[in-house]
């Protein structure tokens, strides 16, 4: 498996777009985490002297301020942190669910597998986004509900892929050897099956994160996601859209951040997929 990683890394390095995207992503994450240290303005402080002021490198507020006088740079960085946090946590949730579900289905096989796959089929046919909106209407806009429902978006594809990989691995000799030596089903799954399906899982994980960030921003934009006082990039963009004519930078700054983040994640994910999957040539 080590050679697979080395081979993939080499191919990835020869893809300038993906490498660039990787650095951009890392840069944005670093900025979101460490940026506030360089910014004298807090995200909550209201600067009454500079309400809705334009961005200017000389002034106290590099990216300007919003309607309430809050420093836009600080707010955007915080929004980025929130979006990233939701993205990573929700992705982790959906990945664990998906991987477990798929591994079990693929390993146990038979009618259990068949039933589990039917469930996925039915769920795939539903417009989950609408259901999530429906749920927020019913159960209110709690943030834990948000995490769960966003996580519910990504696990289907991952489950399918993991199941496919598990099915093909199950038939190979070393699994038979493990079974013969008396290892239990659970142990086999954890120790043997999972390490061998890491490859495609990583690829789809990198593609799931932007999907989930996109979904969360979508909900927040509509007002159904992250609530005040927290703000994700989605909420900031919604604010900005309302101020478009008078103060366009309130839209452009968080919008630009989100666009660049999603673009970089997608390009990197694509590059990773090309590097790991030889058939894509």
Partner 1 sequence: MLRYFLTRLAGAIPTLFVIVTLAFFLIRAAPGGPFDQEQTLPPEIMANLQSAYGLDQPIWTQYGRYLGALAHGDFGPSFKYKDFSVTELIGQGFPVTLELGSIAMALALILGVPIGTFAALHHNSAADYATMSLAVIGIAIPTFVVLPFLGLLFGIYVHWLPVAGWEPGSIRHLVLPVVALALPPLSVIARLTRANMLEVLRSHFVRTATAKGLPLHTVILRHAMRPALLPVASYLAPAVASIMTGSLVVESIAGLPGIGRYMVQGALNRDYTLVMGMVIIYSTLLILMGLVVDLLYAWLDPRVRLER
**Tokens at residue 187, please?**
């142990």
Q: Is 20 in the site for partner 1 (CB under 8 A)?
A: no
Q: Is 255 in the site for partner 1 (CB under 8 A)?
A: yes
Q: Is 137 in the site for partner 1 (CB under 8 A)?
A: yes
Q: Is 245 in the site for partner 1 (CB under 8 A)?
A: yes
* Least spacing, CB of residue 39 vs partner 1, in Å: 23
Q: Is 135 in the site for partner 1 (CB under 8 A)?
A: yes
Of 140, 182, 195, 229, the residue at the interface with partner 1 (CB under 8 A) is: 140
Of 101, 240, 247, 253, the residue at the interface with partner 1 (CB under 8 A) is: 240
What is the distance between the alpha carbons of residues 69 and 42, in angstroms, rounded to a whole number?
11
Q: What is the DSSP string of 56-71?
A: -SSSS-TT-B-TT--B
Q: Is 224 in the site for partner 1 (CB under 8 A)?
A: yes
User: Is the Cβ of residue 175 or residue 207 nearer to partner 1 in the bound state?
Assistant: 207
Q: Is 244 in the site for partner 1 (CB under 8 A)?
A: yes
What is the distance between the alpha carbons of residues 198 and 7, in angstroms, rounded to a whole number?
15
* Least spacing, CB of residue 150 vs partner 1, in Å: 14
What is the distance between the alpha carbons of residues 276 and 12, in angstroms, rounded to a whole number?
8
> Long-range contacts: 134-137, Cβ < 8 Å, 24+?
136/219, 136/224
Q: Is 228 in the site for partner 1 (CB under 8 A)?
A: no
For residue 83, give the nearest of 272, 236, 274 by alpha carbon: 236
Q: Is 221 in the site for partner 1 (CB under 8 A)?
A: yes
Q: Is 214 in the site for partner 1 (CB under 8 A)?
A: yes
Of 83, 136, 149, 166, the residue at the interface with partner 1 (CB under 8 A) is: 136
Q: Is 182 in the site for partner 1 (CB under 8 A)?
A: no
Q: Is 64 in the site for partner 1 (CB under 8 A)?
A: no
**Tokens at residue 64, please?**
């300007």
Of 131, 145, 196, 273, the residue at the interface with partner 1 (CB under 8 A) is: 131
User: Is the Cβ of residue 49 or residue 122 nearer to partner 1 in the bound state?
Assistant: 122
CA angle 187, 193, 198 (to 5 degrees): 130
Q: Which residues pair with 65 in a beta bridge?
A: 71
State the residue for tokens 């899982």.
201
User: Is the Cβ of residue 106 or residue 225 nearer to partner 1 in the bound state?
Assistant: 225
What is the distance between the alpha carbons of residues 272 and 61, in angstroms, rounded to a whole number?
38
Could you give the dihedral angle defined by the CA atoms of residues 242, 248, 250 and 256, in that order, rounded to the nearest 10 degrees? Answer: 110
CA-atom Rg of the chain in angstroms: 22
Of 210, 231, 232, 235, the residue at the interface with partner 1 (CB under 8 A) is: 210
> Long-range contacts: 127-131, Cβ < 8 Å, 24+?
128/152, 128/153, 129/153, 129/215, 129/218
Give the residues lining the site for partner 1 (CB under 8 A). 122, 125-127, 129-131, 133-140, 210, 214, 217-218, 221-224, 234, 237-238, 240-241, 244-245, 248, 251-252, 255, 258-259, 262-263, 265-267, 270
């Amino acid at each position: 498996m080590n050679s697979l990683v080395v081979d993939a890394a080499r191919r990835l390095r020869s893809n300038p777009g993906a490498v660039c995207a990787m650095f951009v992503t890392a840069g944005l994450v670093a900025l979101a985490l460490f940026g506030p240290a360089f910014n004298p303005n807090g995200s909550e402080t209201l600067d009454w002297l500079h309400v809705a002021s334009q961005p200017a490198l000389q002034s106290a507020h590099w990216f300007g301020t919003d309607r309430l006088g809050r420093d836009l740079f600080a707010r955007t960085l915080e929004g980025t942190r929130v979006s990233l946090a939701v993205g990573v946590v929700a992705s982790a949730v959906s990945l664990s669910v998906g991987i477990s579900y798929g591994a079990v289905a693929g390993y146990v096989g038979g009618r259990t597998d068949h039933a589990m796959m039917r469930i996925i089929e039915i769920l795939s046919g539903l417009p989950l986004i609408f259901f999530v909106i429906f749920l927020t209407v019913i159960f209110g806009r709690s943030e834990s509900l948000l995490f769960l429902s966003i996580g519910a978006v990504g696990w289907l594809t991952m489950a399918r892929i993991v199941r496919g990989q598990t099915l093909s691995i199950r038939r190979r000799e070393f699994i038979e050897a493990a079974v013969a030596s008396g290892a239990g089903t659970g142990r086999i799954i954890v120790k043997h099956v999972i390490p061998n399906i890491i490859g495609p899982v990583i690829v789809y994980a990198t593609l799931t994160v932007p999907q989930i960030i996109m979904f969360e921003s979508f909900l927040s934009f509509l007002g159904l996601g992250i609530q005040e006082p927290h703000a994700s990039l989605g909420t900031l963009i919604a604010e900005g859209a309302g101020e478009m004519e008078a103060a366009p930078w309130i839209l452009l700054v968080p919008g630009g951040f989100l666009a660049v983040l999603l673009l970089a994640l997608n390009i990197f994910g694509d590059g990773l997929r090309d590097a790991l999957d030889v058939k894509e040539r």
